[in-house]
Structure 1
C-alpha cells in the first residue's frame, strides 16, 4: 500500500505522518477555548476552523471542545472526515486555505480529548496475569480457573481519568504489611504503573443488546495509551473479595492523541492461540482478527526499563468489547476501556514494576547508581508506542507521562 504524501513535506516515517492523522483537543496561548485538532508532523490543524473555511459537511461535529460530537456520528462520518483530511493535506490546491489554520505542535497545550463516560479496565495479558499469580499466590496455579474462559475486568472511576502531564499525588489508604497484625493507614509505599492500551467508544449501543466481535470497528473510534497507576499495598489489602478499588481509583493517565482505528489496519495480526476454545460469542470473526502489533516503551526518569509487545495479548479489544456488552450493558459515546497491563514473555517486556522488580525483591538499576522497586516521589513515568503503517510508515501514539508528587495530609 502506498504511503500518503502531503504538501507539508512531512517525512513518510514521521510517527504523526499523513498515514496516521490522530485527533486531539488543544489550546493556544491566545486564550481561545480548547478545540479539536489533527496532528500532522510538527503541526496541528485546527479542524473546526478548517472545516468552516472549506464548508465541510462535518464542520458542526468537530466544532467542540471534546471529540464526543464527532465520535457520536458513527463510522460513516469517521471515514468521511479521514478521507477529506487526506485529500486536503495531499492536494496542493488546498494549501492556501489551510495554512492559516495550522499551528506548531510544540506551542500548544493538550487537553483530555474526550468526555469520559464509563471506564472499564481489563486484565488480558497471560504473561502479566501469570507473573502476578506467581508473585502474589506462590505455590498455587499462576492463573485463576476462569482466566482463559473470559476477559476479566473491573469497573474503574471515570472521574479520575486525567490527560498526560497531570501530576499524580501519592495515594493514602489502608495497608497491611505481612509482618503487621493490624492494618495501618498512610501513603502507599508500593506505588506502581501499568502500561496499557485504551479504546474509546464512538457509536453507542442500547441497553439490552450485545455487540458482537465482528462489530468492533463499528463502535470503537480510536486508540490511545494508558498508565493505570496502582498502589500495590492498598490493592493487596482490599482486593478480597471484590477486587480493585482505592488501589486503582486515584488516577488513570491517558495520552492526548487518539489514533483512528482505521490507521491501524496494517498493524492487525492474529492473536495467540487460545486453549480452550472460547465461548462462541468470544470467537474471532472469520478472517478478521483484532490482535494489534503495537510496540510499547516504558521509561522511568528518561531511562527505558521495558518494551512490552501488545501483539502477545491473549484477549483482543474486539473480544473485550463483546464481553463487556454480552450481559446487555449499554455503550455510550465516550466510554473507554483499557487492555490491562501489557507484558510479554521475555526479559524487559513486563509492563509493571511489580513484575520488573519481582515485587521489590530485585530492584531495577538506574543510570547514576539509583535503584527502584516501586516509584519514589519525584519520579516521572513515560509510556510511548508505535505501530506499522502502510508502505513502511510508522504510526505513533505520542506519550502518556506523569510525575509522582508526595502524599497530602
Structure 2
C-alpha cells in the first residue's frame, strides 16, 4: 500500500504502474516531470531538489525539472529501474523522506484534478506502423477483395509511414475537421476542395524511444527493448476521403497530418512486463533480422467510446486487445533501424490500428461501417458511419492484474467544425 495517498480500488495508476508524465501544478509557471499515483501526481522535480535521488544516475542530472521526458528517457534502462525503485521506496518504505518530512510531502504531492497535463515528450520524429493483420485484411478487402486483401509485401515487412510530429497533441486537445481535395464526383474530371466528410479515428498504442542509435548502426532485434521507454494510447485521426484521393503513389499526407492524439501518462516497460504473452505466429517465416527467439507482445485490453455532443452518455463501440498485433514492437524498432536510420530519445513509434478477429473488436469506423455500407448504433439511438462535428472519441486501455489494473488513463478528443475559408484557397 502507498502511504499518504488514497488509491481507488479500480484506479489505472496503482503502485504497480507509476507512469511518467509532464505537468504544471496549480499556480506554477514551469512544467516538470511527475508520476501518476491514484488520483495524485508525485512531483519528481521537488523530490530531486530535496536530494531524494542523490547517489543515483538521475540524481546527477536535472532531468525531472525539464519540460519533457526526453532527458530522462535518454539515460537508459538501468537509470529507469533505479529511479523506479527509489520512487516506490518513497511511497511505501519505512522512514522514507515523504514519511518523515511533512513539508516535502505537501510540496511533492498534487491533486491530479488541479494540474495541467502536458505533452510528455518533445517529439522530433513520429512513425506509424500497420501491425494488425486483422485491420490490414479488413481494409484490403474493402479496397480490393477478400481474396487479395493483403498486399504482396505485408507478411514479410513491417509496413509504416513517417507522420507529422508537430501535430501530435495531448489528450483533451480539440481536433479541427480538416479540409482538402477529394476525388472527382461522378461525371466530373476535377477533384473537389471541401471539409472532410469521412473523418475517422484509429485505435492505436505507441511507444517512446529511450536511448537512440548511431546513424548507420542498426539495433539488433534482441536489443530492441533496451531502446523502448514506455507506451501511450494513440488516436491516429484520419480523413478517409482525403486519404483515398492522395494515397497513390506515396501514401498518407493531409489525411493524417492534421492531428494525432496521445494520452499524457507514459506507462514504463517495467510495469507492462508482467503482462507479456505469446505473439501471433508468423507464416511465412520472416527474414533473419526480424526473427525473435521468444515472440512476445503485451496483453493490453483496449476500448473505444463515442459520445455525440448532445448525448447524455458515451457508447463503447469497440473492445479489443493489443495481443492481436502481428508485428511486435521489437520487430518495428529493429526494422526501423536496419537501414541505418538513427532513432533519438522521444521519437514516437505507433502500432497502427489495432483490430481483433470479430465485429466487436474493430479499431476504426471504416471497418465498423464496412466502408460506409452500414451504421453503428449508439446508446441514444443515433447512428454513425463517420464522425460528426461535436463527437468526442475516448480511448482507454489497461492490463488486468490480480486485484489491480495497470492502466493508461484516457486519450480523448472532440471534433470541431472545419476552418471557414473566406474563399477557396488558390
2:416 counterpart residue number: 405
Q: 1:164 aligned to 2:193?
A: no
Q: TM-score scaled to structure 2, two decimals?
A: 0.92
**SS of residue in 2 equivalent to 1:242:** coil
Question: 1:399 and 1:13 mapped to 2: Cα distance?
Answer: 14
- Secondary structure of the residue aligned to 1:166 is coil
Match in the other structure for 2:310: none
Provide the rounded CA distance (Å) in 2 between the counterparts of 1:146 and 1:407: 37
- Inter-partner Cα distance in structure 2 for 1:293 and 1:369: 33
Q: Which runs of 5+ in 2 are unaligned?
A: 308-313, 422-426
**Counterparts in 2 of 1:325 and 1:236: CA distance versus 1, 3 Å:** same
CA–CA separation in structure 2 for the residues paired with 1:198 and 1:139: 28
Deviations for 1:218-241, whole angstroms, at most 9, x for unmatched residues? 111110010000000000000111
Quick one: distance in 1 between partners of 2:187 and 2:306? 31
Q: How does 1:356-367 map to 2 (within 5 A)?
A: 356-367=368-379
Q: CA deviation at 1:360?
A: 1.5
| Residue number in structure 2 paired with 1:261 | 269
The aligned length equals 402
Structure 2 distance, partners of 1:170, 1:180, is 27
**1:209 matched residue in structure 2:** 217
Shift of 1:37: 0.7
Q: 1:303-354 CA deviation, whole Å, 9 max, x = no partner?
A: 1000121101000111000110110000111111100000000121000000
2:73 equivalent to 1:75: no
**Residues 9-408 of structure 1 correspond to what in structure 2 (within 5 A)?**
9-10=6-7, 14-57=11-54, 58-59=58-59, 60-94=62-96, 95-97=99-101, 98-100=104-106, 101-138=108-145, 141-176=148-183, 179-181=186-188, 182-284=190-292, 286-287=293-294, 289-301=295-307, 302-389=314-401, 391-408=402-419
User: What is the TM-score normalised by the length of structure 1?
Assistant: 0.95
Moved more, 210-219 or 346-355: 210-219
What's the secondary structure of 2:71's corresponding residue? helix
Secondary structure at the aligned position of 1:134 is classed as helix
Cα RMSD for the two superposed structures:
1.4
The answer to whether the Cα contact below 8 Å between 1:10 and 1:41 also exists between their aligned partners in 2 is yes
Question: Structure 1 CA distance, aligned partners of 2:113 and 2:149?
Answer: 45
Tell me by how many angstroms 1:61 deviates: 2.0
- Residues in 2 aligned to 1:291 and 1:212: alpha-carbon distance in whole angstroms: 17
> Is the 8 Å Cα contact of residues 199 and 224 (structure 1) preserved in structure 2?
yes
Look up the SS of the partner of 1:351 in the other structure: coil
Q: Deviations over 1:144-169 (max 9, x none)?
A: 01000011000001111111011000
**Contact 1:266–1:388 (8 Å) recurs in 2:** no
CA contact (8 A) 1:165 1:403 kept: yes
| Alignment check: 8 A CA contact 1:195 1:352 kept | yes
Contact 2:120/2:265 (8 A) holds in 1:
yes
CA shift, 1:92, in A, is 4.0
After TM superposition, give the deviation of residue 49 of structure 1 in Å: 0.3
- In 1, Cα distance between equivalents of 2:44 and 2:326: 37
CA distance in structure 2 between the partners assigned to 1:177 and 1:108 by the alignment: 48
1:180: how far off? 4.9
TM-superposed deviation, 1:177: 5.3
Q: Distance in 1 between matches of 2:81 and 2:210?
A: 13
**Contact 1:290/1:317, CA 8 A, preserved across alignment:** no
Residue-by-residue CA offset, 1:188-247 (whole Å, 9 max, x unaligned)? 000000000000011011110111221122111110010000000000000111111110
Q: Which runs of 5+ in 1 are unaligned?
A: none
